[in-house]
Every structure is written in structure tokens, then in C-alpha cells.
Amino acid sequence: MSKSYEFVPEPPLVQGNHTFGSITALIGDIPERETPKGWYIAFGVANLLLLLLVALLSYLVWEGLGVWGLNNPAGWGWAIINFVWWVGIGHAGTLISAILFLFRQHWRTAINRFAEAMTIFAVMCAGLFPAFHVGRIWVIYWVFPVPNQMGMWPNFSSPLLWDVFAVSTYFTVSLLFWYVGLIPDLATLRDRVKSKTSRFFYGMFALGWTGSNRHWLNYEKAYMILAGLATPLVLSVHTIVSFDMSVSNVPGWHSTIFPPYFVAGAIYSGFAMVVSLMIISRKIYGLEDIMTVDIMEKMNIIMMVTGNMVAFSYLMEGFMSWYSGYIYERGIFWLYVVGPYAWGFWILMFCNVINPQFMWFKKVRRSVTLTFLVATFANIGMWYERFMIIVASLATDFMPSSWAYYSPTWVDYLTYVGTFGLFFTFFLLFLRFLPMVAISEVKAGLPQADPHYYEEDDQLEGSNGAGSIVIQPNESV
Amino acid sequence: METKENKQLHGILAEFQNPATLLHAAEAVNNAGYNKFDTFSPFPIHGIEKAMGLKKSKLGWIVLGFGLVGLIGAVWLMVWVMSSAMPLSISGKPLIDPPIYVPIAFELTVLLSSFGAVFGMLFLNGLPKPYNPLFNSENFNKASDDGFFLYIESEDALFSEYKTTELLKDAEAVNLEKIYD
Amino acid sequence: MSKTNENPTYWKSLNQLANNEEYKKFLEREFPENASELKDGMSRKNFLRIMGASIALAGFAACRRPVEKILPYKTRPEEVVPGNPLYYATAMPYRGSLTGLVVETHEGRPTKIEGNTEHPASMGNTNTQMQGAILGLYDPDRAHGITSDGQKKSWDDFLSFAKQNFTSDKKVAFLCEANSSLTLNRLKKDALKKFKNAEWVTYEPFGEQNALEGNNQAFGKKLRTYNHFDKAKVIVSLDADFLQQGSENVTNIGNYTRGRALESTKDSMNRLYAVESNYSLTGSNADHRLRIKNSEVELFTYALAASLADKIGGLEAFKGYNNHFSNHSWVSVLTEDLLNNKGESIVAAGNDQNPAVHAAVAAINMALENKDKTVSYYDVPTFETGNDTQRFYELTRDLKAGKYDALVMIGTNPVFTAPSDLDFSSALKATKTTVLLSQYHDETARQTQWHVNRAHFLEQWGDGTSYTGVKSVIQPMIQPLYGGKSEIEYLYAIINGTSGDGHKLVRETWKSYLSSTNFENQWEKILHDGILPNTEFDTPRVSLSSSFATYMNQAFAQAKKPGDNEIELVIKPDNKIIDGRYGNIGWLQELPDPVTKITWDNVALMSLKTAATFGVKNEDVVSITSGGKTVKLAAWVLPGHADNSITIWAGYGRKGIGRIADDDFGIYVDNKYKTLPFEVHKFESKNVFPFVTTDNPLYHTSVTVKKTGEYYSIASTQDHSSMEGRPLARQGTLDTYREDPHFAPEMEEVAGIEKKSYRKFPDALYTPQEGYDYLPQWGMSIDLNSCIGCGTCTIACQAENNIPVVGKEQVKRGREMHWVRTDRYFIGNDAGDPEIIHQPVPCMQCELAPCEEVCPVAATTHSRTGLNQMTYNRCIGTRYCANNCPYKVRRFNFFNFSKEFLSSGDDPEVIQMAMNPDVTVRFRGVMEKCTYCVQRLNRAQIDRQLETKNQSFKPVDGSVQTACQQACPANAINFGDISDPNSKVVKVKHNERNYIMLDVLNTRPRTSYLAKIRNPNPKMS
């Protein structure tokens, strides 16, 4: 039997009939516009927290690691948990800009800019922890292969060293990627702003960009290549972070499922964070037209998928620990479930296994408030996942005689809180002074950006440059 | 532009209605045989490189070069350190132990390649370029907003103030401006 | 050598220079040797001066080297070679008898104590207290001088005081600790000659007086019991913790483990039955253990004697006696087992049991014909006649009645330890003249007129006899740090009012034991060997005295069954600080108790059931009231403890002794109160001596216990006591071993898969690097069958490797620094009455060490001799190695522990003098761990190279020992070169019981274990 097909167009990316100019105005004017009071309040709070962080880290370095709750079996505690958690969050940005770019997902243009910014700041927060958790931070530079009078070099077989390279590379590349994306928009701002000084600074960072199409040629190539490089990179970072655990022999760490499992978890938490931040900033800056609910729904779907991948790997862990028959592996999983840290395990189960299931319902996916809730739980859940993996596994490993209950100190708590100060200080500065949406990319996504748009004959309805058209079989006929 | 007299003509800047007209204009100018010309738009326009008769970007080769340097450098460093500079027995592992090279070799390759991509792109575009005669034109600010421009330099062999202006007029330029330097 | 002695001030001044700010700064630098560091403000000249000073600081003790000629044990050098230690033989007075020691001294500074292999009481081994003695020597809290009523006085003041007050017409009472000193005994005679109707009383809170009185009742003679545990096949311990308590415990441990050693399936081993209320160390090693109330042990003994009486002669006194134990399965089984092993059995009673029990036990051993086979009764000449306990009571009463002009106390602390109803302090008030010789300005000292600070045994000349009577001389290793006096100098001064030189006094005494013709040669030989051989006490032929039967009948009358729900309180000497005398030694305080793993505190031990009845769990505070006295203590549930019984260790709850010993962790220095840099919060008055009364010296039968609702945290080093079914510490019975000798290595770690099958898999995916075969390949084997879990290895390691004391708070956080710990697991299905297995765990020195590959800076790597070594200077402290160590033997310096430990006290250098110069002191933020005492290994290797002119790099087997191995009283640890097929350790590793912990991980440890074998009686079910 023959089937006839009809086109069901995707909803336009940008709602409300915007022109190139109106979009420039919508985003480009934010730095010019009167700063909302809320911004100052938020910025003040963020600064206080940042100050707290600085104070606590100085205290740590002055007194010694003993001020943290670490003990003998649990040599790693909150520091590493927070590190992994922040790095995980840092995954969304580059993922959105790189992978979705390669997949021609044009809806990314609405969020990629501040997702990338978020990535960079999250990785900064993450980077603090491994640096400060060492016993003698004043010789931390020994982890870099710098020729020195001791004739010593790092040990390249240590996953911790791989981490050093992975995270620093990830940070650098994300930063470059972000900056390259910014150049044309900086030029836009350069050409808009009134005050001489801001003109000077925007101008300086715009590097004299003119929008020449000879430049655009190389520029697009570069952007494409960067995306191509960042894609494996973003997958490699959490893979290597997971090596810190999976390469060791600690029961509950030594597991081959960790790399995919960690990456999935990272995307899960990363998207959760982006969605939450998007929901906030679209409200404050009235960007509902660009950061549309459709986009939110798309991201929710990704959260649901990755969330279920995570849930699946929990199942696999449980199954493998039983199937392996390896008594220490069995022991640790049983201890997760009923052991001293069982409470953490069940919080985790709710946040990462039950919680994403809500996203099956379109209502939830499209509801701003519910999405925000689910996203928040997702982030809590991912923190507890790392808590269970790192602390619970270490505190109850091979030697029952050495088991000890790990409990954090007030320094641990407040240091973690402090990192939010660091994060939001930078993030708010970004919102205030930089275009939070990729202007040129949004324009390129508009229907009128396509030269064919002006040729009367083929006015494809809803041809919006996204070029992605869903084809659904029509059962009638 | 009160000081036209003591400055000399640098080129003619033509503004167009939309990407489509700019595209056609570029085609016309290119067919007319001009080569010292350029088009400006707030975003890349599909197919304009063909219209302008531009060749493919050479960036890929630069990136490849950087990438190879990263890869070989990383592997060489690790082999040299672990086997000759600091040959230690670590967990009884052999001094040359390829599996452990993978993560760092990969990371350094990516790092160097992206350096190549970014700095290569800036190099090919001759950026940063703090001064550009076009910045003298108030109107040109629109190039980063919603303006579509075509610029023909006076350097060009075929350039003559009259002929060129006519050509651009025929190409539906909405606004013409002489740029002095 | 003698040059230094003439001008000590010269050194002192340099030493002071070494302490100036500039020098301190210099020391604080990370790399003092780094030239660039030296540029700022420090000229080369200045630098040299300071380095010289620091070397002088190391040789600070040089100025204190004794003037008299003492002889090195091994080598007799022309002069001291700096950096090369010298070994001297001496002996330690431990609870009334001597144990022969060899002391390692660096530039005249004793740093480490080892056993004297030629001394029968030591046989080369030591116990925790002996290892800790070094820290006791350098204890900055020891009394710094003579005081009288709080005033500082000089020795001459004391002499003149003695001259005036101790005239022959005075009625003087002497109260002396248990002391075997021959010279003291000689002077004692002089004293009793000089002072008419003087009394000399020996007093020990936890001494052997009950045993002596028991034998006295049995044999009509005050004899010392000595059990040859190596000769016995069956041992019955009636609350006798002979492996931990008693002055001869080192000998006992050695003998006991020798009696259990298994080299092959053919060997046989002894069987130990323990009957006790508390879970003692001995009980934890028993093959069968019966937990009954302490007050019932007496009844059990009589019941046993009675059932034996039906089978053999010599126990007529017990015929017809019966009580609720008479039909107990244990009594019948024991009777049978003992009768089957006549002359090869031992019945031993604890010192804390009353004399009647000891009398009964003596009779049983006689009846079983054990005398002179497995049990010896020694006639100790230095004993006074009569019951020491009673004589002490009478003396106190007389003192209170003012019957004496003067009281001379030697080394005792009766105000703290004497029965509370005696009220000894009032006796002190009632006496005109009171003098005391003791190391600390303790409770008694504060109420005594004159306090003379006592010299540490490492600072004094002295002598004495071992538990079995072998005579030794105590040589000083160093001159008294605080100008202390030995008991003989002190007593001599009191008798003669003049100063007597210890050296001369001892030689004087020994004239009578050595032939006058070649005295000097013999004397030198004795100093060199440390003993005068073949001088055991004689063992008189004895028989049961006629009065024995009547005596026992009285005992039967008194011994009655306690009420079932009656709560009983037992005061036991602490396993580490005994009656508190070693309370200020941080190493001992921080050493986990062998059974409970508790550090720093004493607790109210009780069984699960009892705790349930009180509704308390660990660390709940209970208030215990008995005889009008109340003490508040944290409860601690000890599985296997007798029900309705509470055991508390004595010796805690002190004030003003020292930083470590005190409750509130402070000390009086010149009447000023000072506290330590690191805090150890202790509980108010945990002193349980007030419970001890003349009527109930041993235990209280009716005690009320209340839960207070308060909570007091206890620092225990092991929170989890179940092995979770994991084959870590492996054990089997003698029968299983004989049926399947390989049972231990075959225990499976992957459910359903046999070891053999996955042993076939390739070891590694790569060919691992091997050690170099021209070098020794070090390996260790620990025999769990010998290990009794005493913890001596831990202290020995701490002494050898400069391991700091971290304090209770840090131990609670799980940050203790011990390089070798002893794991204690409870085994068995009955949670109320489990078995215990001990397992010492040092670094396993894995050949494929998981810790090494994960270190990002290569701070831990493998040596060519197969050691897994730490480079402290390279370590940045990621703690990844510790995470990845499956054996959890790595220790991290979370704070600057060493600095705190070594800078505590009024004159820190004193503690610093205890440090071993061959071992780095670790700083904050670095990881550390057991190194197999690499400093010893390298020294041995270098010596070997020199001997053989670089022909061989492999030390001869047995020429090098690790600290733990050398100290281990059970000889459970073997160590050596595993590349040498004839070495002891290789032979041991070939034993079928040899297994590797967590070998499923294929870490290839160099340290392996021999499984523990128990020898249960099949009749006991």
C-alpha cells in the first residue's frame, strides 16, 4: 500500500516577528540598559560568598588538611566530590555548543553562549578543589612536567595526572571556543555602545572584526573545527575523571562502566543547571522570545534520556557486583543499600532514578516551574552520586578493621557554599557586560538570513533556516 | 568627512537591502573581474564565497600541523621521561607502557589543534587589526547589526570612480559612500 | 670520649645557640640543604656555626655520658664513631623483677630498647612497657629536682636533713615497691640493723602478694610460682592473664607460643582453657573460654579441685566439696584433660584472685605432679616473711596511730593506689617525717615532707634478679637528666646521711657474688653480657602443710555463690599503664588496648546482655556506685564479657602528673599549671582506686549502676569488629589443618570459584619489573598462630621510626599514625560470646603496589630490594595512594603532628632526644608508612659490602631484624631475604599455612601470613 507524507514544520526558533535589527537591540542593549536592582543584590551576595571561600581556603592552607573531615580510610571527601560535581556541570556548555552544532541543532543558538560561560565558571570552581586538597599546595606545581633542579618528573601513569591534563585542556579549549564565538558580537557591541571607554574595551576584544565575508569563511571553518575537537574532548574529560576511580582497585570504584556512566551523569546535571539558569535569566531579561519553551522541552528530553542512562548504570553496578561473585564488590554494594550511608543512597535513588521519569509527561516538560524543580533535584542527586561513590566506597572498603564513618566539618560545608560565590560572581559579571545570546548566530538562524528567502517562488512555509523538517507518516488515505 | 581634500580615496562602500541583493552584487562585481573587493554582513551568508569566487580556507592544514606536534610531543615526552629521564619501577610496570600514554596524548593533541584553529584563523584573517579605514564610515556600524555592504578598494586595477559607482548602482545598491584614508 | 665530660657548659652554650630564632627559621625551611635558601642574611661562616650547633644538638647528650666505665654489648670501639649506634646491656626493673635489655645509644643518647637474647627473662624480646621506657626516660614531666613542702631543695639539703632526722633512735617505717635489687636488699639489712624495731613493708597494688600468701598457706613457705608454659600440653587459666599481666609476661608469651608453634602437620600444640570474667588478652588466645563472674572463679576452682580429688590423691582437702559448678560440663572435661596430661599440665590463677584460690591451685598442681616439670616454686631470698597485704594494712594503721617517727617510701604511690578506707594520706599527716622517692611529683609526693626525684633505670647503677632469680647489673646509659637519684643512693643517704655513689654500692654488693681473685674480669663480663648465668633461685622440696585442709575449709565457708542479678564490679590493672605508673608515656596511652582497641581512656566494660539491661550503648556515661563511692564512666560493650559483671581498668583519672597522664591534660611545673598544644579531653575523675577497700580489695559484689544520659566519646581505633565473612585473618582447627594442610591459601574470595582455578590466569597483562638478584629481596612472614595481639610491635615501630603521638581527638577522627596496627576481629555466631583473632598489619610491600601507580608525582616507588618506598620530600599529599591501598596501612600527616609532639614540654629537646637520628621526622601534608625499617636494612647492606669488599650485597640471614620482629615477644614475625633459599623467612613461607591477604588482587605482597590454628577439645561442644 502506498503512503503519502505531509510536512509538519518545527515551531520557529525565534518567536514574535523579529528583524535583524530588533534582535541586535534585544540583546545588544542589555549592557547599555539600566542594570536591574536585583543584579546588584545578587552580586553583593555572590561577593560575600566569594570572600568566605577565600577566607576558608586560607585557613585550610594555614592550619593543614586536618580542618577538613577526612580520615584514614576516607582520604578523599567533599573536596573531590565537589570537584567532580562542578566538572560534571561544566559539561553542558561545550556539549551544547559543540555536539549540537555538529548535529545542526540550530535551537542551540539561544542558549549556547551562556551555557559556555557557565561551563567556564563551573570548571574554575572545580579546579580549585584538586589543587587545595593536596597536603602541600605550595609544591602543587610538581604535577606539571616542568624541568627542575631535582630532576624529577610527574608520574604519567597516575590517573590524577591525566586529570590535570584533561581538566586544564578542557578549560582552555572551552575558553577559546567561547571567545571565538564572542568576537562578532563584541564587534556588534563595539558599534552600538555610546561611552568611549566601553567602546574601547569592546573594540579591543573584538580585534577589529568587520564582518567581512572573507573572514567569515575562515571563521566558520575555525568554529567547525573547534566544535569537532571539543566534541571528543567533552566526552574525554569526564571519562578521565572517572578513571580516578575506575583505574584504582577500591570496591565500588573499580568498574569499567564508569566512563559512559560518568559522562551521562555529567550531561544530566549539566543540562539541569543550564535549564535552571536559562529559566532565571529569560525571566529577568525578558528573553522569552529567544529562550523559548520549545527549547526548554528539548533540553528536558535530553535530561530524561541521560537520567535514564545513569539509572541504568546503577542497575548494572548492582547486577555486576552480584554476578561477578567478587565478595568485596558484593560487600560494598550491599553497604550502599543498607550500610552507614544508606540514607545518601536513597536520596540518590529518588533524584536520579525517579526524578527524571517525570519528564515523560509533556505537561512537565513544558512547565517552567516543574522543570525548575526537576532540574534542581537532578543537581542534588548528582552531588549525592559522587558522595556515595567517593566517600561510601572508601569508608567501607576491603578491611573492615579500618572502616570509619566519614563526617565533614563546618569548613567542608562552607567551602562548598563559597564556590557558589565564585561561580555567580563571574556569571553575573558575564550577564551584565557580555551578550548572553550569540547574536550573529541567532540572526543567521532567522528565515530572512537565507538569500533564497527573497526569491518569491519558493516561500516554504516555516522554512526557518533550521532546515530540520519532521516527516510523519499520514495514516489517512 | 570635512577633510576629504587632504585625504585620498581608499575605496567605495555600497550598502544593499538584504543578503540576496548583496549576493547578486558580489556575483556581478566578481564577474566584472574585480578582485580587491569584499562584502560585509552581520552573519555569514550562504553561498557568498562562491559568488565572490573565494577559494577554500587553508585553516585545516594549519590545525593538522599543530595537532601532529601535540601528539608526537606528548608521546615523546612520556616515553623519554618514564624510560630514560626518570626510569623508576612503579607498581612493577614496564618502563615503556603505551596504554598509559593514551589520555595525555589525546588531550595534548586536542589542545594544540585548537590553538592552531583559533590562532590560525586570526592569522589568516590578519586579525587583530585595530585600524580599518571603513571604521571612518558612520554607516558602516550597521555591518555588525543589519547592514549588508560591498566594498571595492581603489587599489584594484579595474577601479575607476565612475565605472565602479555605475556597476554598484546597477547592482541595486541602496547607498554609496566614498571611503577616504 | 672523656673530653666532652670535662666541659659540659661548652656544649650547652652551643645548644642554646642552636635554639636562637635564626636557627629555628633555618630549620623551618623545607630544604635546608638547598643553597639558594641560604643566601638571605646567612653568611657561610654563620651557616657552618649553626650546622655545628645542630650536630651538637644531636650529641647534646654527650655531656651526660656516665663517667664510670661501661662496656658496649657488641663492639668495643676506641671512640664513638658519630652516626654509628652503640649497644649496651642493661636490665629493666619491671613490677618487681628484672628483664635483661640491650639499649641502642647514639652519641651517648639511648634511643631504642631491645631484649637481651642472653637473658632468660627476655630471650631477646620485650613488651610494650619496656619499649615505652625510652619515652619515659625523656619525659619532660618527670620531677625536676628535690622538693620539700613545695620548696626546691638540693641533694645536700636532703643529706643534712637525713643526718638530723634519721638517727638510730628513731622508729622508722620503710614502705617499698616490689624491688628485686640485691644492693637495696643489702642496704635494707643495714637499715634494719641501724634503726631498732623498724618495719620494712613491700607494697604493690597489683603485685604477686596473693600468690605468695596462697603458696605460704599451701606449703608453709612464701614461694614464688613460675609456670613453664612451653612444657605444658594443657593450660588452665583461672582469671590468670599471664600473657599481659605479671612481671614475667615476656617469658610467658615466649614460652606459651613456643608450646603452640607448628612447623608441620605432625607437630602438636598446647591447649589453653581460660576461665574469666573480663575478656583478657590471654582469654582472647584461649582455645576454650568460659565467661563467669570474677567472684565465681574461686568457686569454679574449688569445684575443679573437688572433682580431681575423686580421681587422684593429694586433694583430700576438697573431697566432698561441691557447689553449682560441680556438675558443670567444664569441670568434667577439664578434669579428664588434666588427668590425661599429668605432669604436663598447668593450672594458673590470676594475681587478682584471693590467696585461697592460689593455695588450691598449688595443691592441684602438686596433685597433678606438675611441680618441677611444668611448675616451679622459687624461694626468693629478698622476700620478707608474712602476708604483705596484711602487713601493709597494719603499718598504715600504726602510722595513723602515730607509732612511727618517720616513714621512708621507695617508688610507691599509696595515696593514689592504697585501699580508700585505709586513708593513707592521714597516715602521712600523722607521721612527723615522711620522705618519698619517685619519678613524678605524684599524689603521694604532694603530701610528703620530702620528695626526692627518682632516676630512670636508664640513668642509674643498680642490680637485681629476674623472675627466676638470674642476677643482672643495671648500667646507666646516660647521666640523670634531672639529677635524679636511684633507690640505693637514696636509701644509703637515709641510713648514713652521706652521699653514696651508686656504682660503688653495686660493686660492693657484687663482691659477695663474684670471686675476689679476678673480680674485675668477671665484673666486666657481667656488664658485657648483662647477666650472671645459672643463678636461678633454688626450688625447695615442698609438701602440703598440715594446716592446709583447715585453711581451705575456712575458704569454702567464705566463698558463696553471688546472686544471679547481682552486679559485680572488678578493678583490673590497665593493660598498658598498669596501676598508672606508665600513665605519662604517650606511646602507651595511644596504643590501642589489645582487646577493646580503646586508646587514652578507661571505660566500664560489660557484656551485651548487661548493657541491654542498663539500656546503654557504647560511650553512654554510667554512674557506678559501690561502698558509698561513685564514679562516672563511659560504658563500653565488650562481647564475651561475663554477664552482670563490670570491669574497669585502674590507673586513669590522675591530676598534676603530666600532660599525658592527667585527666585535663595539664601539669604542675613549679606550682604553675600548664597544658599541651594538642588537646585530649578526658573525663572528670576516672580514678577507680577509691573502690578498692581492705574488705573488697579485688572486686565488689553488689554495685548499683545508673545511666546518666550524658555522653562521653571514646577514641577506639577499630569501629568494626566483624570480618564480614572475608578471609582476611584466616584460622582453622588443628584437625582441619591436619586433614587439609592447605586450607588457608585456598579460602575463596570469588564466590563459587575455587582459588586454584583462577590462580591459573596470567598474573599481569605485562611482564613486571623484578628486583635485582645481586641485592637482597626483603620479605616478611607473620605467624598468626604465634601472634597474641599484645601490640608490642606497634610501640617498637613507633620508637624506631619516630612516629608522633597525635592525641585522642585525632585518633577519634581515625588519624592515628601507627605504621603497624593489630586488627582484632570477633568470630563466631554467638554475639554474646565470640572468639577473637588478632592480626598485625604492617605495609605489605606489594611487588605490584597499587599505591605507586596512582601517585601523580612519583613520590612512592619501588626499590631494587623490593621495598615499596616513600619519598617524603617529593610527596605533595594527594592521599590517592592511601585510597588505593587495599590494606589501609598508609598514614597521612593531617597536621604538623611531629612538630606538636616534639615541641611539647618545657624543654622540648628532651623529647627530641628520644628520636632516632637514622629516620626522617615527617612534616605536615605528607604520607608515611612502614618501610621494613629501611634504615636498618641499608646499614646492614653497607656493613656487608664493607666486610666482603663489595663481593656481596646480601646481609647474612638473621643479621638484620625489623623493629617489630626484634621486639615481638611471641617471635611471630620472620623477616629476611627471600632470594636466599636457605633463609628462615623462606622456610617459613613454605609452610602450608602460608597465605597472602587479598591475594585476589594480585598485588604480590612481600609480607605473608601463616594461618592461626586453634586446638579445641572435641569433648567441648
Q: What is the pLDDT of residues C488-543, one digit of tens each?
A: 999 999 998 888 888 999 998 988 888 888 888 888 888 888 888 888 899 888 88
Say if residues A128 and A57 touch (Cβ distance below 8 Å). Answer: yes
**Dihedrals phi, psi of C849, to nearest 5 degrees:** -70, 120
Contact C115, C102 (CB under 8 A): yes
pLDDT at A462: 42
- A4 contact partners, CB below 8 Å, separation of at least 6: A474, A477
Residue A286 vs residue C62, higher pLDDT: A286
Kindly tell me if the per-residue pLDDT of A48 is higher than 90: yes
pLDDT digits (tens, 9 = 90+) for C602-635: 889 999 999 999 999 888 888 888 888 888 888 9
Question: Distance (Å) from the C-alpha of residue C848 to the closest C-alpha of chain B?
Answer: 4
Give me the pLDDT at residue B50, please: 84
Chain C residues near residue B98 by CB distance under 8 angstroms: none
pLDDT for C404-452, tens place per residue? 889 999 999 999 888 888 888 898 888 888 999 999 888 888 889 899 9
Q: Given A135, A398, A401, which is nearest C925 (Cβ)?
A: A135
The residue of chain A with its CA nearest to that of C895 is A64
The total number of residues shown for chain B amounts to 181
The single-letter DSSP state of residue C868 is E
CB-based contacts of C34: which residues, under 8 Å, 6+ apart? Answer: none
As a whole number of angstroms, the distance between CA B41 and CA A123 comes to: 34
Closest residue of B to C864, CA-based? B89
| Nearest CB neighbour to B108, from listed A165, A176, A453 | A165
Q: Give the rounded percent of residues in chain C with a pLDDT score beyond 70.
A: 88
Rounded Cα gap, residues B142 and C758, in angstroms: 75
Residue C44 has what pLDDT?
Answer: 44
CA–CA distance, A172 with A65 (Å, rounded to integer): 29
pLDDT tops 80 at residue A151? yes
8-state DSSP, C872: T
Round to whole Å and give the CA distance between C529 and C662: 39
The rounded distance, in Å, linking the Cα atoms of A152 and C859 is 10
**Which of A162, A210, A457 has the most B C-beta neighbours within 10 Å, making it the best mutation to test the interface with B?**
A210
Report the pLDDT value the prediction gives residue C843, as an integer from 0 to 100.
Answer: 94
In sequence order, the 6+-apart residues with CB closer than 8 A to the CB of C433 are C165, C166, C170, C405, C406, C407, C449
Q: Which residues of C touch A324 (CB under 8 A)?
A: 750
- On whether the CB atoms of residues A241 and A87 are closer than 8 A, the answer is yes
Interchain proximity A66–C718, CB inside 8 Å: no
Query: Rounded mean pLDDT of A372-388?
Result: 91
Neighbours of chain B (3+ CB pairs under 8 A): A, C
**Residues paired with C868 in a beta bridge:** C862
Average pLDDT over residues A373-377: 91
Radius of gyration of chain A (CA): 24
Quick one: pLDDT at residue B6?
Answer: 66
Q: How far is CA A34 from CA A39, A194, A285, A423, in A?
A: 11, 14, 11, 23
Q: What does the alpha-carbon distance between residue C22 and residue C54 come to, in Å, rounded to a whole number? A: 12
> Which residue from C minimizes the CA distance to A331?
C724
| 8 Å CB contact between C689 and C602 | no
Domain extents in chain A: 20-136+159-452
Q: Which three cell numbers stand for residue B143?
A: 555591518
Within 10 Å of residue A470's Cβ, how many Cβ atoms?
A: 8
Return the pLDDT at A16.
Answer: 66
Q: Which chain C residues have a beta carbon less than 8 Å from that of A244?
A: 880
Q: Chain B: nearest CA to C1001, how far in angstroms?
A: 13
Residues C583/C577, Cβ–Cβ less than 8 Å: yes
Q: How far apart are CA C654 and CA C636, in angstroms?
A: 21
B4 at the C interface (CB within 8 A)?
no
Residue type, C924: R
Pairwise pLDDT comparison (A10 vs C642), residue with the higher score: C642
Instruction: Indicate the range of C125-139, C565-579, C697-711, C773-787 predicted with least confidence.
Output: C697-711
A26: closest chain B residue by CA = B145
DSSP-assigned beta bridge partners for residue C224: C378
Residues of A in contact with B114 (CB under 8 A): 172-173, 176-177, 225-226, 229-230
* Minimal Cβ distance to C883: which of A164, A250, A401: A250
Tell which residue, A96, A222, A192, has the closest CA to residue B44. A222
CA distance B99 to chain A (A): 9
* Min Cα–Cα distance to chain B from C134, Å: 37
Whether the CB of A176 is below 8 Å from some CB of chain B: the reply is yes
- Return the pLDDT at C704: 87
- Least reliable range by pLDDT among A12-21, C369-378, C954-963, C989-998: A12-21
Q: Residue A5 burial by CB count (10 A; 0-12/13-18/19+): exposed, middle or buried? A: exposed
Neighbours of A196 (CB within 10 A): 9
Residue C48 pLDDT > 90, yes or no? no
Higher pLDDT, B110 or C564: B110
Whether the bond into C120 is cis, omega within 30 of 0: no
Domain boundaries, chain B: 8-56+133-180, 59-124
Cell readout for C974 is 620472620
pLDDT in tens, C813-844: 888 899 999 999 998 888 788 999 999 999 99
Residue C11: what pLDDT? Answer: 33
Measured distance CA(A177)–CA(C580) in Å, rounded: 70
Q: Which three cell numbers stand for residue C38?
A: 641560604
Are C751 and A327 within 8 A, CB to CB?
A: yes
What number is the average pLDDT over the span C450-469? 91
- The phi and psi torsions of C551 (rounded to 5 degrees) equal -55, -45
For A404, list phi and psi in degrees, rounded to 5. -150, 150
Helix (H) or strand (E) holding C408: strand C406-410
Task: Please check whether residue A75 is in contact with residue C882, taking contact to mean a CB–CB distance below 8 angstroms.
Answer: yes
Q: How far is A175 from chain B (nearest CA, A)?
A: 11
Least Cα separation, residue B42 to chain C (angstroms): 48
C574-594 mean pLDDT: 89
Going through A100-165 in order, the beta strands assigned E by DSSP cover none
* Chain C touched by B94 (CB under 8 Å): yes
**CB-CB under 8 Å, A143 with C857:** yes
Crossing angle of helices C519-529 and C502-510, rounded to 10°: 110
User: How crowded is the C-beta side of A438, counted as CA atoms within 13 Å?
Assistant: 29
Residue contact A188–B144, C-beta within 8 A = yes
Residue A443: closest C-alpha in chain B: B43
**C799 close to A50: Cβ distance less than 8 angstroms:** no
Determine how many CB atoms are found less than 10 A away from the CB of residue C615: 8
Q: How much is the average pLDDT of C330-344?
A: 91
CATH topology of domain B8-56+133-180: Alpha-Beta Plaits (3.30.70)
DSSP assignment string, C784-853:
TTT-----HHHHHHHHHTTPPP--HHHHHTT----SSEEEEEEESS-TTS-EEEEEEE-----TT-HHHH
Q: Report residue B80: phi and psi, to 5°.
A: -65, -50
In whole angstroms, what is the distance from residue C786 CA to residue C257 CA?
5
Considering only alpha carbons, which residue of chain B is nearest residue C863? B89
**What residues contact C328, with CB distance under 8 A and at least 6 apart?**
C300, C303
Examine the pLDDT at C45 and tell me if it is beyond 70: no
- Residue carrying C-alpha cell 590517573: A159
C-alpha distances in Å from residue B89, one per residue of B85, C727, C771, C849, C935? 13, 30, 9, 10, 20
Phi, psi at A393, each rounded to 5°: -65, -45
Tell me the pLDDT of chain A averaged across its residues. Answer: 85
Question: Which residues, other chains included, contact A343 with Cβ-Cβ below 8 Å and sequence gap of 6+?
Answer: none
